[in-house]
Structure 1
């Protein structure tokens, strides 16, 4: 069964599951449906602002769309979340992505 369809079915039972929503957004990206992916990432971060991995992937998506200013904003928000969560690995990845755009 198509992974997108399967994830959408699972999310009917648990619509706020951040992990499954994140997986769905990544599948949308693989399928070339970046607008859908962006909506899912933004939904995740509005309901679960400490789901750090979504900041990186949303930022990269925004970079591909040419919206570097918004990508930097997202990376910085992600860095704040990573710091709150004590996730130094994610913080460093987000910082590197942000610095690449700023310099």
Structure 2
């Protein structure tokens, strides 16, 4: 049985299939419902079709970590840091950098 929020988001997606916010909200909702397959689907769709949607990278990296895929998490954090740099988004860069260092087991001084 789908949650009410999920049903609403799927209805929004039907009318706006390429809206990055809706895709992100769906990925996040599926992740909160522990539907890893669908969460990955929407996060990866965002990375492919909306690479400048910076919030995706942090949450996709965390999902990779949760699934014991540290190398993929590290790679997605690195890509996200690059995208954040390109957009001049220092806050997102800092969050991604922190997640990267934790996943990679490095200190900030190692950069």
Q: What is the CA–CA distance in structure 2 between the aligned matches of 1:30 and 1:8, rounded to whole Å?
A: 15
Q: Once the 2 structures are TM-superposed, how far is the Cα of residue 102 of structure 1 from its aligned partner?
A: 1.4
- Runs of 5+ in structure 1 lacking a partner? none
Deviation per CA, 1:32-53, whole angstroms, max 9, x where unpaired? 1011001100001101100000
Unaligned runs of 5+ in 2: 106-111
* Rounded Cα–Cα distance in structure 2 between residues aligned with 1:23 and 1:2: 13
2:13 counterpart of 1:11: yes
Alignment of 1:1-103 (within 5 A): 2-103=4-105
- Give the TM-score, by structure 1 length: 0.97
Larger Rg: 2
Q: Note the aligned Cα RMSD (angstroms).
A: 0.9
- Give how far 1:29 is off: 1.0
d(CA) in 2 for partners of 1:96 and 1:61?
A: 16
Structure 1: how far apart are the matches of 2:46 and 2:55?
10
Please give the alpha-carbon distance, in whole angstroms, between the structure 2 residues aligned to 1:88 and 1:76: 14
Q: Figure out how many residues of one structure are paired with residues of the other and give that number.
A: 103
Q: Please give the alpha-carbon distance, in whole angstroms, between the structure 1 residues aligned to 2:27 and 2:104.
A: 26
TM-score, L = length of structure 2: 0.90
